[in-house]
Structure 1
């Protein structure tokens, strides 16, 4: 395959339904009230004065006071926290390769990259991870996240075999678009620069004609478009958020956590908007007789000074309602709060998470890991499902990083495919750990070395042996005879 032909419709029309859904989900994820107004089909312009030279319609009053509750972005953030709050374990058998892999993970801020990708993938149904390199920038391969609404993937039997990426470049206008197109295939990456329109790719022009792609020109092959990767694996992977996609049932694309619950988000915004309207209407207001008003002169009207402390008597009969009346409406706090919590629970449950993950049902007291698992059971199930979607693509792209490191940076490593293991997702408290170890020790079912490893899983064997020896010396167990023989620590 090659780069797209000149004049091709763009973005690719076969993926238009997916991009349209992503735009809606992206608006909810962003929390931008103007974007949300546009996807609702509502007018969002600010009110303006009437006149022959200003014909914009004023924003409806119901929209000017409309509030947005950022529950969609909270759902995406919870998904990312559960997956990559801690970096999963990545390991290979060769020590030199493991050391280099640890360096790539640390220096490349891989955990932060994955966390950001997981949050965006939760909202947009999935995300792409791309491996590349730039010797002028840094002497190691680079892992980056690519947004799914800027990729045209090609699947075979549900597996990604190629992907065409694009990005809009600076200098584009409403009528002229400059796009950098990047196509990933096994063993090579193709680059192209196109000058077209918002709905057409236009014609291919040399990469050197735009400052954002000029640096790529020197790294291309004789054909002027190809970069050879030096490896056979594809340098991009797709990570679906979760499956199946209920709108496109036969598609290999994942589904957004927002799918099917956008109406619930809308209802939560309605409730909060009503709640804040109650607060505005409930502000105390004074109703005063005309006699209390101060006349500001002809044509200037009259007003009431609510900060004035001393008033003289009014020359009016007492039966003419000369008293000041306080008007203040009731705020329906309980009704609004209960409605908001009920809708939040429904949205969280439909997205696959427990209410506990969003601060509901929490009493503020410390709880153990077992209690967290019990209360957050649905969230933990969803997390385990999502780790299954992440494990293989992450192992593949880390393998690609190691291969690129060996080929393009001459690292003396053996680039094996890493093993990726996600942890439990919850950190057990020290009190819970101590109780567990105490019960096992009383039962005679655990050795000192195992207890040390349990308490410090990050320690190497040498550190464990030193700690065990110190414990045995302090307890006097080191001098006790071993009736069963001597066993290595």
Structure 2
């Protein structure tokens, strides 16, 4: 493994992920430092260059503050963070279903995966994946925490993957465990089919350095007792105990680089200039508000001295002023007090910000209605209209869910294998588990009830069909049970007397007889 860290060409990906992360985190000082204009930098030669350096320097966040000492209002709009959160909500606000052919394996999956911890971890991973272009999942186990194997998430900027036909064949997760001046300790965890290799390296900020014993740091000492002579821990499965879920592909940024091409692209990819302009518009808006504060320009004679070296002040609540002879003033000789208040360009700023926001959302693959905006404002509309107006978001969600399903399915199989190896349970039999995502856009209950009533009135659907319409997420057994309860409550569970042979043959009114055909 090369000494430079991250190794080439993943240093390119790390640099771009730092930029995306800055927009996701949304700290003004971080954006200013990223684009080269920190709070103490007043001029930069790159500002006047051409090419990439000049373009980045001309970002709003990359402009120098000039002249020296002038106040500059800079406001960051957290649209990037809102996009990442919306992406995660679309995917995992409703947890996916993991289905296995074997009933025993299914019961274990329900116990291991159908937990608030796992659902929350997937939600968090999807949010960071939208920002950084993807997320990694790995199988972990610790009998002191849970009596079963678990899924853990790793951010995309803390991994070095290896691919085979665009599929993850191995991956090295890394973590900085200690920094002491120029010395940096990194823990590397390499996942390969059948084993996980742990190493500890002592290097510098951009150099991996030499391997040292795992016992040299408390965070890795636990692994020293478990690894073999090669530093590896057996997993008991031929499957890879890690998976990569790209946010969305293809990656326009790294398409020509084979090692980076399988990486996903961020929702912010290509819209960074628009996000920068949006911040500039809001900053201009806030500047208008700051400059539009009512001010009074008063002659020096109206100022009250505060003593030697302490300047003078004007009391705007003072009722009586001592007249001061001045050469300038109104026609009556009284010195003027001039009010100053600029207009705030609300409509212009609002329209510009709204247009830029819509352009960002469209480029990222989302409908404005996903963020509660329709025609520029939040409003109440029918569920059908919401579904229609969220079509772009639904398409993006469907594309992303396929990547997550492809990653989770094999990894869940590996999780069951590791669970069987470590905790003595039963592994996967038959095909790999399947991950299913439910429909995101659901009509409201009132609309479903109206539709079911219309079908009943028109005699166009059976009770079973209407129950499935109102509860599309239910299993067949749940639907059958509900149909039975409906029949019982409405009295339709009692056989129709007209179908009983006793009545057909003039039987008694007590209804005693056998059903027709028997």
Name the TM-score, length of structure 2 as normaliser: 0.84
Q: Structure 2: how far apart are the matches of 1:226 and 1:482?
A: 75
How many equivalent pairs are there? 469
Residue 220 of structure 1 pairs with residue 230 of structure 2: no
Measure the CA separation in 2 of the matches of 1:182 and 1:290. 72
Q: Identify the match of residue 471 of structure 1 among 486, 489, 500.
A: 486
Q: CA RMSD in A?
A: 2.6
Change in 2 beyond 3 A, CA 1:138/1:328: same
Bigger mean CA deviation after superposition, 205-214 or 418-427: 418-427
Structure 2 residue 31 is matched with structure 1 residue 36: yes
Matched, 1:376 2:390: yes
Q: Pick from 294, 314, 320: which aligns with 1:311?
A: 320
Structure 2 equivalent of residue 247 of structure 1:
253
Structure 1 window deviating more from structure 2 (279-288 vs 89-98): it is: 89-98
Equivalent residues of 2:135, 2:245 under 8 A apart: yes
**2:445 paired residue among 430, 435, 438:** 430
- Asked whether 1:101 is paired with 2:113, we answer no
* Inter-partner Cα distance in structure 1 for 2:351 and 2:78: 18
Q: Aligned with 1:168: secondary structure?
A: strand
1:413 deviates by 5.7
Q: Which residue of the partner structure matches residue 339 of structure 1? A: 352
Evaluate the alpha carbon distance shift between residue 101 and residue 296 of structure 1 in structure 2; reply closer, same or farther with a 3 A threshold.
Answer: same
Alignment match of 2:302 (pick from 292, 303, 312) = 292
Counterpart check, 1:320 vs 2:329: no
The alignment status of 1:403 with 2:417, answered yes or no, reads yes
Q: Distance in 2 between matches of 1:197 and 1:262?
A: 31
Q: How does 1:353-364 map to 2 (within 5 A)?
A: 353-361=366-374, 364=378
Q: Is the 8 A contact 2:174 2:188 kept in 1?
A: yes
Between 1:93-102 and 1:324-333, the stretch displaced more is: 93-102
Check 1:482–1:398 CA distance in 2 against 1; reply closer, same or farther (3 A cut). farther
List alignment gaps of at least 5 residues for structure 2: 43-63, 501-514
Say whether 1:88 aligns with 2:103.
no
Q: Output one character per residue of 1:121-153: Cα deviation in whole Å (capped at 9) or x when no partner.
A: 111111111111122332111211111122111
1:189-229 Cα shifts (integer Å, max 9, x gaps): 000011111122111111011111001111112x1501000
Contact 2:65 2:72 (C-alpha < 8 Å) held by counterparts: no
Q: 1:233 aligns with which of 235, 239, 256?
A: 239
Give the direction of change, closer, same or farther, for the CA distance of 1:397–1:369 in structure 2 (3 Å limit). farther
Task: Tell me if the contact between 1:108 and 1:142 (Cα under 8 Å) persists in the aligned partners.
Answer: no
Query: 2:438·2:473 contact (CA, 8 Å) conserved in 1?
Result: no
In structure 1, distance between residues paired with 2:419 and 2:198: 21
Residue 349 (structure 1) aligns with: 362
> What is the DSSP-based 3-state SS (H/G/I as helix, E as strand, rest coil) of the residue aligned with 2:339?
strand
- 2 CA distance for matches of 1:482 and 1:271? 76
Q: What is residue 154 of structure 1 aligned with on the other side?
A: 162
CA distance in 2 between partners of 1:483 and 1:266 (Å): 76
Gaps of 5+ in 1: 48-56
Does residue 258 in structure 1 map to residue 268 in structure 2?
yes
| TM-score, length of structure 1 as denominator length | 0.89
Q: Which moved more, 1:385-394 or 1:92-101?
A: 92-101
Asked if the contact 1:133/1:141 (under 8 Å) is kept, the reply is yes
Equivalent position SS for 1:445: coil
Answer whether contact 1:289 1:321 (CA < 8 A) is retained. no
